[in-house]
Amino acid sequence: MVLFKMNSSSVKVIPLGGIDEIGKNITAIEYKDEIIVIDCGAGFPDEEMYGVDLVIPDISYLLDNKDKVKGFFITHGHEDHIGALPYVLKQLNAPVYGTKLTLGIIENKLKEHNIISECNLNSVKNREIIDVGTLKVEFIRNTHSISDSCCIAVHTPEGIILHTGDFKIDYTPIDGLVMDLERISKLGEEGVLLLMADSTNVERKGHSMSERTIGETFNRIFDKADGRIIVATFASNIHRMQQIADASISRGRKIVFSGRSMENISNVAMGLGYLNIPEDCIINVDDMKNYSNNEITIITTGSQGEPMAALARIAFSNHRKISIEKDDLFIISASPIPGNDKMVSKVINQLFKKGAEVIYKDLEDVHVSGHAYQEELKLIHTLVHPKYFMPVHGEYRHLKQHGDLAHKLGLNNENIFKLDTGEVLELEKDKANVCGKVRTGKVFVDGLGVGDVGNIVLRDRRALAEDGMLTVVVTIEKETYSIASGPDIITRGFVYVKESEELIKKVKDIARDELEKCLDNKIVEWYVLKTSMRKAIEKFLYEKTKRRPNIIPIIMEV
Amino acid sequence: MVLFKMNSSSVKVIPLGGIDEIGKNITAIEYKDEIIVIDCGAGFPDEEMYGVDLVIPDISYLLDNKDKVKGFFITHGHEDHIGALPYVLKQLNAPVYGTKLTLGIIENKLKEHNIISECNLNSVKNREIIDVGTLKVEFIRNTHSISDSCCIAVHTPEGIILHTGDFKIDYTPIDGLVMDLERISKLGEEGVLLLMADSTNVERKGHSMSERTIGETFNRIFDKADGRIIVATFASNIHRMQQIADASISRGRKIVFSGRSMENISNVAMGLGYLNIPEDCIINVDDMKNYSNNEITIITTGSQGEPMAALARIAFSNHRKISIEKDDLFIISASPIPGNDKMVSKVINQLFKKGAEVIYKDLEDVHVSGHAYQEELKLIHTLVHPKYFMPVHGEYRHLKQHGDLAHKLGLNNENIFKLDTGEVLELEKDKANVCGKVRTGKVFVDGLGVGDVGNIVLRDRRALAEDGMLTVVVTIEKETYSIASGPDIITRGFVYVKESEELIKKVKDIARDELEKCLDNKIVEWYVLKTSMRKAIEKFLYEKTKRRPNIIPIIMEV
């Protein structure tokens, strides 16, 4: 389904996700018979999406143009940029390009999904240009809360498109590799047709703090610790891990990695040389007993309070190997992502109740953001001074503020494009306009099912969650059209049956009366019988309880 | 149920709610045959409490000691301090004491519940002492985000118990009525046995800003507005309303109140003289058409993004009377309460998409907190210098930090009591200890039902929400023990039935096979038949889908 008519020699930019939402980042850039795809991320279900494990983008447009797709070009290894790859590659197996660490993390993921052997992964370096035909795709190093992160510049016959990826400007990164501002500045000088830039922190004034400042806080806090130190952080934040490890090792502490993703990613990062910890400084969780508590630092998952992750398991005493001990000092080195505050709070409360000390963002500077604040964004806009601008990676409020920021820096409002997901921005050297919309959307992953849970199923789950359900079953004798058995009532999630025997009895009576009334009137269509019963029960229950359980009438014929 | 043995001449302090939680504030203070109750608040359901509208405290202890209860003494008119009153007074009709505005708001509530005529409401003034027998209860003015708020001092034979209520220290309150620090200081001088103090903002350094600073921001923002101004705020924040009204009137704007609670509380507040707006400056929503847009300010509910409140209705174009117009300026004059961030964000995004301007806390200082920061708490602790201290009104993390703050100010840790809800603190002149625990808990209000939804019902709702349900019905011929009809399968919230015909057909086969196997083996106990079917289906579905829908087997007999 393509709803647009385009000039065949123009370049099209189509965000298939990541616009007006946090997560699910994926953008197609098309020129004639070539499409390159930047990122392929997953989104996370919001509280309305009952039972959904993961949200991935609808890639119908790519599947309809399968032959054009030259590859997936990945800016960095965060879930919201790579999480959909295993699902998408199963349907559209194009080459994947990314830096070494990014690919290492992707590889891990593809192995878990058992599709690694069929995939074509290609490692790239800073300033490397991949030639896919007419389009040339250049990777340019930036700084972010994960190592080896990149901007991507797409060189097209109509001009350069620069996508910042997720970034901040850290002048003192832990690995010493600062953002390649020189190259970006050079591109600006050559002339950039379109800038697409990270909008996450556009509402924050000033400049984000360097990751390095956290290290100073760790040093100060570690000096006062008498027992074990347990730090929860994002598994992908290698630089954070490095700083925790450095502060530990210099104080004679060994490192234990806890939690599946923490173990996986630290392994990948050490294997590839992104995380430098002497081998004898890492111990297994089972070997902790050979060390005294002030010789141990545990780096663990669960910084978002996730109930199944290691930190929450430790707090609520259901971790298989780690339980809280005297003088334990917990550090939650992360900010709660919006929506996770309550879960994080539950874990903090529980740790305090168990007598542990806990340090978190409200008390100390134990976290910095990985996304650019206003002054950093201004620098990029100023260096790049593009002809057109499209804010990306943000909810609409962020896109709006980012558009306003670009405007304040001198860009005309007509040159700023706040797109909807799926909208097609058509670009020529001196022209840009939204020329149509392609199919996009959310595909839900629930258990093993991809796409078999949709809005109707979710609507039912929501209704069931609110007021539960009530099933009324009755058997009808098909020759005489009389009730052979029932009505029987079964409820779940509605009321305590014990306390409501009266109510349930009344529902039975109502169902029987309604049914008999219909049958007496020679109404025998099942649909009508069911609807009549349902409506009569609904009305009665709403009057009595002001609730609307999902009422499921079942008629059996014998 | 009383699980403690106490010295009959001691004073007991029993928090029945509000400890280790935000909300549901209620504390009993008991001496011999007298009990006074401070506050009677409601809590709000968390995301796990599917379908629950309101949470109220379990007051079994008060009901068991009905004759002792001398009254409810209410510190201020916020929901988390008065919300349970209509439910509690129905079971235990004791006199209610509070300041004029507090009672006005309570009255409104009791009218809605049709119990106002039976209730005994008593208005009190600053420094007024209510003599209930041996215990004397004194109201002392404080400052908070609602007018007419109080601390409560209970004079007992063993000493003074001072409960701060919710408070901040605002030296420039809008009504000019500063917190009665003199009286508090005097009590400190006389000697306070126990201080109970608000812990909400103990994690925030420094001093909260005065409510008056918001007025300055409003003035600046209002000067730039060309169209209507629509401000969403808490209906109970009379001073905020006053400042919005003042800024509007001085710019020739009329005021429209929108949203049920906004209309109710503004009426009460104006009637009682707490909100001063000339009559001709207030117009009805229907009269807006007689004014140009720059002559209108709308003050509305919905600052938490609540989907059914006025602001969200306006944003999503389903408000009956107000739709977005050109140059509308929205101000969200509130902070999202933890857990509400996403809802608020949805509304902001939608308003921007509709082309309106929106100003919110991340962009401008349009909100201040009503709870004391660290320096304010230190002032109170220093003035009161109590013998014992009990932090209240907070999650455990807040109680912990507040205890640490008191300790840093010089109090011994043995004199600091971080209680659990229901724990009984026994106090004598020179002695304090936790001596037991009474029954407490959460009572769920769902529709008209109070307490008929409990943990089993919630567990079922949670399971239904996750993976939906699958009902398998079969009719058995009771003489031959053979299947007369079915099995039939009905699902809700599980999978798209259309796309899963194969799966459902297989479930039918499995159910039939299992049932026939049992019947062939002369197993005829329904319980066993049902369990066998359920288990077989569960196993199959989990293998196929990794989901666990609630499986409900029904057997009918004919």
Burial class (CB in 10 A: 0-12, 13-18, 19+), A251: middle
Q: Are B477 and A558 in contact (CB < 8 Å)?
A: yes
Q: How far apart are CA A500 and CA B64, in angstroms?
A: 25
Paired tokens of B259: 């949203």
Is A376 in a helix, a strand, or coil? helix
> Which of A22, A11, A6 has the alpha carbon at shortest distance from A162?
A11
Smallest Cβ distance to A485: which of B396, B452, B557?
A: B557
Partner residue opposite A464 with nearest CB, options B396, B452, B461: B461
Sequence-distant (≥ 6) Cβ neighbours of residue B319 within 8 angstroms: B310, B313
pLDDT tens for chain A, 558 residues: list them.
444 555 678 999 999 999 988 899 999 999 999 999 999 999 988 888 888 889 999 999 999 999 999 999 999 999 999 999 999 999 999 999 999 999 999 999 999 999 999 999 999 999 999 999 999 999 999 999 999 999 999 999 999 999 999 999 999 999 999 999 999 999 999 999 999 999 999 999 999 999 999 999 999 999 999 999 999 999 999 999 999 999 999 999 999 999 999 999 999 999 999 999 999 999 999 999 999 999 999 999 999 999 999 999 999 999 999 999 999 999 999 999 888 899 999 999 999 999 999 999 988 889 999 999 999 999 999 999 999 999 999 999 999 999 999 999 999 999 999 999 999 999 999 999 999 999 999 998 888 778 777 888 888 888 888 889 999 988 888 788 888 888 888 888 888 766 678 888 899 999 989 888 888 887 778 888 888 899 999 999 998 888 889 899 988 887
Q: Is B371 assigned a catalytic role?
A: yes
Q: Is A468 on the interface with B (CB under 8 A)?
A: yes
Q: pLDDT higher for B402 or A447? A: B402
Residue for token digits 């082309």? Answer: B355
Q: Does B479 touch chain A (CB under 8 A)?
A: no
Residue range B135-164, pLDDT digits in tens: 999 999 999 999 999 999 999 999 999 999
What's the confidence (pLDDT) of residue B524? 74
- Residue A235 assigned ligand-binding role: yes
A 343-362 residues with CB below 8 A of B?
345, 348-350, 352-353, 358, 362
Rounded to whole angstroms, the Cα distance separating A378 from A206 reads 10
The residue in chain B having the minimum alpha-carbon distance to the alpha carbon of residue A351 is: B397
- Which of A351, A360, A558 is the best residue to mutate to test the B interface, defined by the most B CB atoms within 10 Å of its own CB? A558
Residue A493 with chain B: CB contacts under 8 Å: 50-51, 457-458, 460-461, 463-464
Among residues A58, A198, A328, A467, the one annotated as catalytic is: A198
Give yes or no for B396 touching A (CB within 8 A).
Answer: yes
Distance from CA of B72 to the nearest CA of A (A): 29
Mean pLDDT computed over every residue of chain B: 92
Q: Is A198 tagged catalytic?
A: yes
Q: Are strands B254-258 and B296-300 parallel, antiparallel or unpaired?
A: parallel
Task: Concatenate the DSSP letters of all residues of B294-341 into one string.
Answer: GGEEEEES-TT--TTSHHHHHHTT--SS----TT-EEEE-SPPPTT-H
Any B CB within 8 A of A462 CB: yes
Instruction: Say yes or no for a CB contact (<8 Å) between A461 and B452.
Output: no
Domains plus CATH for chain B? Answer: 11-206+369-447 (3.60.15.10), 212-359 (3.40.50.10710), 455-557 (3.10.20.580)
> What are the residues whose beta carbons fall under 8 Å from the beta carbon of B327, sequence distance 6 or more?
B225, B226, B227, B228, B293, B357
Q: Cα distance from A215 to chain B (closest Cα, Å)? A: 22
Question: Model confidence over B264-306: pLDDT tens digits?
Answer: 999 999 999 999 999 999 999 999 999 999 999 999 999 999 9
Contacts of B471 in chain A (CB under 8 A): 471, 490, 552, 554
Cα atoms found within 13 Å of the Cα of residue B362, Cβ hemisphere only: 17
A321 CB near a chain B CB, below 8 Å? Answer: no
Contacts of residue B346, defined as CB under 8 A and 6 or more positions apart, other chains included, come to B305, B312
* CB spacing of A465 vs B500 below 8 angstroms: no
pLDDT of B199 > 50? The answer is: yes
Q: Does B504 touch chain A (CB under 8 A)?
A: no
CB pair distance less than 8 Å for B492 and A460: yes
Worst-scoring range by mean pLDDT, A96-100, A502-506, B493-497, B526-530?
A: B493-497
Chain A environment of B358 (Cβ under 8 Å): 397
Instruction: Out of A163, A319, A371, A402, pick the active-site residue.
Output: A371
pLDDT value, residue B1: 46
Report the Cα–Cα distance between both ends of chain A, in Å, rounded: 48
Instruction: Show residues of chain B in contact with A495, CB under 8 Å.
Output: 449, 452-453, 457
Ligand-binding site membership of B237 (annotated): yes
Q: Does B369 touch chain A (CB under 8 A)?
A: no
Name the residue among A51, A468, A557 with its Cβ closest to that of B485: A557
Interface of A with B in 222-261 (CB under 8 A): none
Query: Which of A191 and B555 is assigned the larger pLDDT?
Result: A191
* pLDDT confidence of residue B503: 87
Interchain pair A485, B546: CB under 8 A: no
Question: Looking at the partner chain, which of B341, B469, B486 has a beta carbon nearest the beta carbon of A464?
Answer: B469
Do the Cβ atoms of B468 and A461 come within 8 Å?
yes
Report whether the peptide linkage leading into residue B95 is cis, meaning its omega lies within 30 degrees of zero: no
Distance of CA A2 to the CA centre of its chain: 27
Query: Nearest CB to B449: which of A457, A465, A545?
Result: A545
Of A395, A447, A494, the CB nearest to B345: A395
Q: Which residue of B has its CA nearest to A493?
A: B457
At residue B497 the predicted structure's pLDDT band, cuts being 50, 70 and 90, is low
Provide the ipTM: 0.86
